Amino acid sequence: MSKIITIAVAGLGSRGNAYSSVLKTFEDRAKIVACADILPDRVERFGDNYSVSPEMRFSSAEEMLEKGRLADVVIIATPDRRHYAQAMAALDAGYHVLLEKPVSPVLSECFEIAKKAAERDRRVIVCHVLRYTAFYRRLKELVDSGDIGDIVSIKADEKVVFWHQAHSFVRGNWSNCGKSSPMILQKCCHDMDIFHWLVGKRCEAVSSFGSLTHFTPENAPEGAPERCTEECPAYTSCPYSVESCYLEPARGGNFGWPIDVVSQVPSLDALEENLRHGPYGRCVYHCDNDVVDHQVVNLLFEGGATLSFTMCAFTSGTSWGRGTYIMGTKGEIIADTGTDKITVNVFRGKSETIENVSSASAGYGHGGGDYGIIRDLLSLIDGTEDSSSSMTDIDETLESHVMALAAEESRKNGGKLVNTADFIKNLS
Ligand SMILES: NC(=O)c1ccc[n+]([C@@H]2O[C@H](COP(=O)([O-])OP(=O)(O)OC[C@H]3O[C@@H](n4cnc5c(N)ncnc54)[C@H](O)[C@@H]3O)[C@@H](O)[C@H]2O)c1
């Protein structure tokens, strides 16, 4: 039997737990041996759940990484602006790294991590989980089959959904760019990664527009207090109220994401207490948010293929997800994660719709991507990786960060065209 792969987990929040629960399904191949978080109750709960010995439970990632290499792989699932220093320390200690996206909101730091990984001969796998889903693998196979010829243009969108925007990007962890990342990097580096993967060419130039239009104090209903829980006159009608985002589903017995972010303890009392005092109980019009709620991006790839992308908060969730319309020289592909369908129309040829594309990976987060990335990571480390793996190294991954951060640069400069080669050159 091959050696059991040992894992250390830094950051025991939503993502650290998501990957760890997938690891439970690979008990014969991997074991979590160390964990760290700055919140002691999370360390205790996680340590007990995964039988981590007391001396291998740490009060921060920094403390854990100072001890040298305690496992084969470290999963870094801490907040965005912690990734750089922790990834550098992990590489120095000799770990392979599964690193949550974004690598860093600072592009030069992304390149430094890639350089360090090469120097230390370690792998850094970035959690662009969509690559590991049955849906996007199928889409990639269809593009690569050549049936639709060469890609000429793509029209794509990301429907964020109104309550998801309110939860994550207005009240939550990614609402403020200075504390986390620009929205186009945070939410859409996945999309940029998929575009680069599908087109198979470098992006040469980017332009973008977008802004924060709605979640500002001027748009608050008359008389709305600072917190939703403080007798707001719009409590029953506001689509963003804590009643509709959290309490109603919880009363129906749903304590899954995103309610488990507000309270890791699945009880109505604990949830109400956190809403009364924590960040998720704030009125969406009275937060410290500054990230955009809509943005459009135009991309030009080497060879002339173009892509237009729209990210928008104001979508209902009835067709939640991402749409991709690929126009090729011999046909078109229409793919929608919301309906879980891909249609291929070959000019003067076959027309086919594939339904339930994700069914093979149903049951795991991100359409099966959370499962797929762990499966492929273990195969990479124990040397059993096969050709179906979507695993990419950090160098390839950074294209998505260049595209997203170039889009942000353009957006902040009134839509000015950004040449990506110049953008990278100007970093040094
Ligand atoms: N791949 C994806 O699709 C995806 C989805 C959501 C979030 N993310 C990314 O995952 C990362 C974590 O997000 P999350 O949703 O799990 O957030 P979270 O807030 O639920 O968890 C982060 C955890 O890190 C802990 N932490 C903070 N500083 C620490 C330190 N110095 N040492 C150890 N632990 C520390 C926090 O206490 C918290 O428990 C973020 O970078 C986020 O952008 C990726």
Torsions phi, psi for 23 (to 5 deg): -60, -30
- Measured in whole angstroms, the distance separating CA 162 from the mean position of its chain's CA atoms is 17
Cα 104 to Cα 83: distance, rounded to the nearest angstrom? 6
CB-CB contact of 135 with 372 (8 Å): no
Amino acid at 334: I
CB-CB contact of 10 with 61 (8 Å): yes
Cα 54 to Cα 37: distance, rounded to the nearest angstrom? 14
Q: Provide the token pair at 197.
A: 């993967």
Cα 331 to Cα 347: distance, rounded to the nearest angstrom? 5
Q: Which of 38, 190, 397 best tests ligand 1's pocket when mutated (most atoms within 8 Å of CB)?
A: 38
Amino acid at 152: V
User: Would the CB of 407 count as within 6 Å of ligand 1?
Assistant: no
User: Would the CB of 11 count as within 6 Å of ligand 1?
Assistant: yes
Rounded to the nearest angstrom, the distance between the alpha carbon of 367 and the centre of ligand 1 is 20
Amino acid at 73: V
In this structure, whether the domain defined by 131-215+290-357+393-425 belongs to CATH 3.60.20.40 is answered with no
User: Would the CB of 375 count as within 6 Å of ligand 1?
Assistant: no
From first to last of its 428 residues, the chain has per-residue pLDDT tens of 568 999 999 999 999 999 999 999 999 999 999 999 999 999 999 999 999 999 999 999 999 999 999 999 999 999 999 999 999 999 999 999 999 999 999 999 999 999 999 999 999 999 999 999 999 999 999 999 999 999 999 999 999 999 999 999 999 999 999 999 999 999 999 999 999 999 999 999 999 999 999 999 999 999 999 999 898 999 999 999 999 999 999 999 999 989 999 998 899 999 999 999 999 999 999 999 999 999 999 999 999 999 999 999 999 977 678 999 999 999 999 999 989 999 999 999 999 999 999 876 656 787 788 999 999 999 999 888 776 666 778 888 899 999 999 999 999 999 999 999 999 999 86
User: Would the CB of 61 count as within 6 Å of ligand 1?
Assistant: yes
- Domain-wise residue ranges, the chain: 5-126, 131-215+290-357+393-425, 217-281
Torsions phi, psi for 183 (to 5 deg): -55, -40
User: Would the CB of 100 count as within 6 Å of ligand 1?
Assistant: yes
Q: Which of 81, 100, 174, 291 best tests ligand 1's pocket when mutated (most atoms within 8 Å of CB)?
A: 100
User: Would the CB of 12 count as within 6 Å of ligand 1?
Assistant: yes
Rounded to the nearest angstrom, the distance between the alpha carbon of 138 and the centre of ligand 1 is 29
Cα 151 to Cα 377: distance, rounded to the nearest angstrom? 30
Q: Which of 15, 177, 366 best tests ligand 1's pocket when mutated (most atoms within 8 Å of CB)?
A: 15
User: Would the CB of 87 count as within 6 Å of ligand 1?
Assistant: no
Q: Provide the token pair at 149.
A: 């010829």
Rounded to the nearest angstrom, the distance between the alpha carbon of 94 and the centre of ligand 1 is 22
Cα 153 to Cα 155: distance, rounded to the nearest angstrom? 7
Q: What pLDDT shows up at residue 392?
A: 78
Q: What pLDDT shows up at residue 361?
A: 62
- Residue with the smallest CA separation from ligand 1 atom 5 is 15
User: Would the CB of 15 count as within 6 Å of ligand 1?
Assistant: yes
Rounded to the nearest angstrom, the distance between the alpha carbon of 356 and the centre of ligand 1 is 31
Q: Which of 200, 151, 201 is nearest to 329 (CA)?
A: 151
Q: What pLDDT shows up at residue 395?
A: 87
Strand partners, 58: 36
Cα 15 to Cα 78: distance, rounded to the nearest angstrom? 8
User: Would the CB of 127 count as within 6 Å of ligand 1?
Assistant: yes
The CATH code belonging to domain 5-126 is: 3.40.50.720
Rounded to the nearest angstrom, the distance between the alpha carbon of 95 and the centre of ligand 1 is 19
Q: How wide is the angle at C-alpha 271 spanned by C-alphas 269 and 272, nearest 5°?
A: 65
